[in-house]
Every structure is written in structure tokens, then in C-alpha cells.
Amino acid sequence: MIKKKVSFDISVFSSIDELGDRDEKLMKRAIEARKNAYSPYSNFTVGAAVLLENGEIVLGNNQENAAYPSGLCAERVAVFYAGANYPGVKIKAIAITATSINYKVDAPAAPCGNCRQAISEYEINQESPIELFLMGETGKVIKCNAIADILPLAFTSSFLL
């Protein structure tokens, strides 16, 4: 048996104000998107802003449905929109922010497993990392350098050959 350790580095900013101009703008757009989320069942709203290589910023927010599995997370709404409307344009970064009507979300919210897998597909296909910026309603912001960092054993198309 061989043991291997999987680890990665993150950057932790005490607030959105510590981010550089590009990343602060991206997070503010995610906050805008969060305000338009449709979450009458969970009361948990998520906004995502996707920065494309061409400078476009695409927004997404969670869209719930009474038949819970029929809804879609903010990250996938934004990434799929980018893929449909800007095919072949690389994704540089994604900012994600979450809050709740029922309580204050003061810890960064990371993408769910489905979103990690979907973003991973784009990162693999474009052969360059997608930076992630994660924030709750307030407080610190975590930056991950790539989706591969938080999904190191991703299911890829190589399994389907």
C-alpha cells in the first residue's frame, strides 16, 4: 500500500474589501445575483458571478422548485449560461455568495458536489484553472486557486472510454 496526501492552498481575506479590484467587482456582482434568487422553500439564497476570458461577467442564482431535485444551484445556472452563450470562451473565476432569510450566513459557502463536478468539466476542457471566491453574507472570503483543488478525484470523461 502507498499512502498519498492530497492538500491545497487557499487564501483567506478578512472581508470583500481586501480583494483586488477585479475580484471585488466579481463578488459584488454575485451579491447582486443573490438578491434575485428564487428560494421560497429553503430560504437560502445563493448568487454566482462568472468571469469569462473575454471580460464578460455572467450571473446566476439558485432556482428552487417544489419538486426539490428539479431546482438548480446558482453556480450551475451561471456556468451553463456561459457555456450556452459564450461557447469556447474560458472561465477565469467564479464568485459565490450565500445568505439565508432565517439566519446570518457569516461563513463562506462552497459549491455542492454537483456544482463541483459541473465546474470541473469546464476546467478540464479548457485546460486552465478556474479560481473560486467563496463568501457568506458577510465576513471572510476564501479564494481557491482551482476547482481541482476542492475536487481532486473528479469523475472525468476518461472513465467513459
pLDDT of the residue at 92: 98
pLDDT score for 83:
97
- Give the pLDDT mean for 3-24: 96
Judged on CB neighbours under 10 Å (0-12, 13-18, 19+), 155 is exposed
Give how far the C-alpha of residue 45 lies from the chain's centroid of Cα atoms, to the nearest Å: 13
Q: Bridge-partner residues for 132, per DSSP?
A: 94, 144
**79's torsion region: left (phi>0), alpha (psi -120 to 50) or beta?**
alpha
Per-residue pLDDT tens over the stretch 139-149:
999 999 999 99
Mean pLDDT of the chain: 96
Per-residue pLDDT at 82: 98
**Residue 98 φ/ψ region, left for φ over 0, alpha for ψ in the -120 to 50 degree band, beta for the rest:** beta
Burial 36-66 (b: 16+ CB within 10 A, else e): ebebeeeebbbbbbbbbeeeebbbbbbbbee
Q: What is the pLDDT of residue 81?
A: 98
Per-residue pLDDT at 10 exceeds 90: yes
Mind telling me the catalytic residues?
A: 75
Considering the entire predicted model, what is its pTM? 0.95
**Percent of the chain at pLDDT exceeding 90:** 95
Q: What is the DSSP letter of 13?
A: E
Distance separating the N- and C-terminal Cα atoms of the chain: 27
Those residues with Cβ within 8 angstroms of residue 132's Cβ, 6 or more apart along the chain or in another chain = 93, 94, 95, 96, 111, 119, 142, 143, 144, 146, 147, 150
